[in-house]
Amino acid sequence: MSSRTSISTDEWERRLEEVQVTKDDLNRLVMDYLVIEGYKSAAEEFSQEASVMPAVDFESIESRMNIREALQRGDVQDAITRVNDLNPEILDTNPALYFHLQQQKLIEFIRQGKIAEALDFAQQELAPRGEESPEFLSELERTMALLAFESSPSVPSAISDLLSPAQRIKTAGEVNAAILESLSQGKEAKLVAMLKLLCWGESLLGERADFPKVDLSDGLGVGRGQGGEV
């Protein structure tokens, strides 16, 4: 078995300094991160300071954040209206996304104790779509199971997550990704993707050598949910 290579801090820093990264490249990475994560005000200020323009207009950033905010507070209809105002083709061409928005709307009816409205909505809007897709039907049945425990203090863990804030965040993230795709924008910030690649590269190199590692425990929310102005 070959011995492990040991790279000193000085040698590691010397090698890093040999990597050529321009200021313009760094500025574009920062701008991409601000746009994807929804920091409109910061993106506007950075654009002026660094003389770099985003790939999308600033108003679309605010529109995305308004849609995310609506979903995270449970106002699904407001979110749907805003998505259609932004680009009606997003929902027209993505039946899975539209179903998940309707599913979230059903969940909000149940959360509010509006059982009659929930049953009518499920029958009119979701049941026909469930008949078209086994996947949709399974999700609808799982959501409807919440009604059986509507007055119960304990909901089985298999379905209780539908009522958690994480479910709203999941739906908001799916909508956000669809909007970014419609704008020909990446679904994930390039800077975050590069940090993940760095973690992967360090893991591979760590199998063969000892070297100074970068502490990424607080790096740009890697491994956590998206940020953004709300």
Q: Which tens digits make up the pLDDT trace of 45-77?
A: 999 999 998 878 888 899 999 999 999 999 999
The residues spanned by each domain of the chain are 7-55+186-230, 62-184
The tokens for 18 are: 């040999």
The tokens for 33 are: 């991160």
Residue 222 has pLDDT above 50, yes or no: no
Query: Which has the higher per-residue pLDDT, 168 or 220?
Result: 168
Query: Which has the higher per-residue pLDDT, 224 or 15?
Result: 15
Residue 102 has pLDDT above 90, yes or no: yes
Highest mean pLDDT among 14-18, 19-23, 33-37, 102-106: 102-106
CA distances (Å), 121 to each of 23, 34, 137, 168, 204, in order?
Answer: 54, 38, 15, 19, 51
Closest-CA residue to 144 (of 171, 115, 170, 181):
115
The tokens for 134 are: 């086994």
Highest mean pLDDT among 8-12, 24-28, 165-169: 165-169
On average, the pLDDT of the chain sits at: 85
| Cβ-contact 209, 3 below 8 angstroms | no
The tokens for 88 are: 């009606």
3-state secondary structure of 209: strand
- The pLDDT of 217-221, averaged and rounded, is 52
Model pLDDT, residue 96: 94
Residue 221 has pLDDT above 60, yes or no: no
The count of other CB atoms within 10 Å of the CB of residue 207 is: 7
Query: Which residues are bridge partners to 209 per DSSP?
Result: 5
Domain formed by 7-55+186-230, architecture: Up-down Bundle (1.20)
Q: What is the pTM of this model?
A: 0.73
pLDDT in tens, 184-217: 777 777 888 888 888 888 888 888 888 777 776 5
CA dihedral 130, 133, 139, 143 (to 10 degrees): 0
Model pLDDT, residue 212: 79
Highest mean pLDDT among 20-24, 76-80, 222-226: 76-80
pLDDT in tens, 144-182: 999 888 666 677 888 989 999 999 999 999 999 999 988
| Cβ-contact 147, 118 below 8 angstroms | yes
Model pLDDT, residue 59: 86
Model pLDDT, residue 227: 44
The tokens for 48 are: 């002026």
Give the burial class of 136: count Cβ atoms within 10 A of its Cβ; 0-12 exposed, 13-18 middle, 19 or more buried: buried
